[in-house]
Amino acid sequence: MMTFIIEHLEKKVYPWCVIEYKHISSIVGKKNLWITNNSDTKLKKCARLFRKSVKTMKLEKTCVLDPDADKELKPNDAKKFQYFVFGGILGDYPPRKRTKKELKIKSERRNLGKQQMATDNAVYVAKEILNGRKLSKLQFQDGVEIKTGKKESVQLPYKYVLVKGKPLICKELINRLKKQKGF
């Protein structure tokens, strides 16, 4: 069985984190999702929660998903690893290599291409690959523009996987961006 782990690395559980983690839960299923380094019970409905960091858990057969890793994730890695660890990090542009710096655990690392995606997109892509689809068979788009008013819009400068021809971004996040005109 595969377990997806989000190591929460932001100072707080911001509203966008709740939206994104709920989306991830809908992608992999609550029983397959752990959120570590977190003590906020708001997330109880979407994952198994751990106050402690994955860095102290000493799990075996672990793979960290890191855009800066040398090797790409392959379908065969599903046999090799049991835990797939992602950074609960808001994308930053240009990328600051936070996954490399802040998610240091004794484990192998894999990339999903070198361009950063939002965590929910990274989880979706990893799941597809681990279910047998090659990265080269998936389609992507660079950046998404969300209209927040008649003339205003927010640019999200990340890579988005296309699902049925559309970038994977959850409705709740779009609605929040529209209301707040940003994060």
The residues binding ligand SAM (CB under 6 A) are 65-67, 86-87, 89, 91-92, 95-99, 111-113, 115-119, 122
Considering only CA atoms, which of 36, 31, 70 is closest in space to residue 50? 36
* Tokens matching residue 15: 């509203």
- Of 92 and 108, CB closest to ligand SAM: 92
- Of 49 and 159, CB closest to ligand SAM: 159
**DSSP-based three-state secondary structure for 147:** strand
- Of 22 and 98, CB closest to ligand SAM: 98
- Of 62 and 119, CB closest to ligand SAM: 119
* Neighbouring-strand partners of residue 33: 4
- Of 46 and 151, CB closest to ligand SAM: 46
Interhelix angle for 119-130 vs 15-28, to 10°?
A: 10
Query: How far apart are CB 104 and ligand SAM at their closest, in Å?
Result: 12
Query: How far apart are CB 137 and ligand SAM at their closest, in Å?
Result: 16
Query: How far apart are CB 150 and ligand SAM at their closest, in Å?
Result: 29
* Neighbouring-strand partners of residue 6: 35, 86
Query: How far apart are CB 86 and ligand SAM at their closest, in Å?
Result: 4
Query: How far apart are CB 171 and ligand SAM at their closest, in Å?
Result: 19
Cβ atoms of 43 and 72 within 8 Å: the answer is no
Considering only CA atoms, which of 66, 63, 163 is closest in space to residue 114? 66
Beta-strand pair 3-8/83-88: parallel
Nearest residue to the partner ligand SAM, using Cβ: 87
Query: How far apart are CB 102 and ligand SAM at their closest, in Å?
Result: 8
Considering only CA atoms, which of 181, 182, 175 is closest in space to residue 19? 175
- Of 142 and 152, CB closest to ligand SAM: 142
> What 8-state DSSP symbol labels residue 68?
T
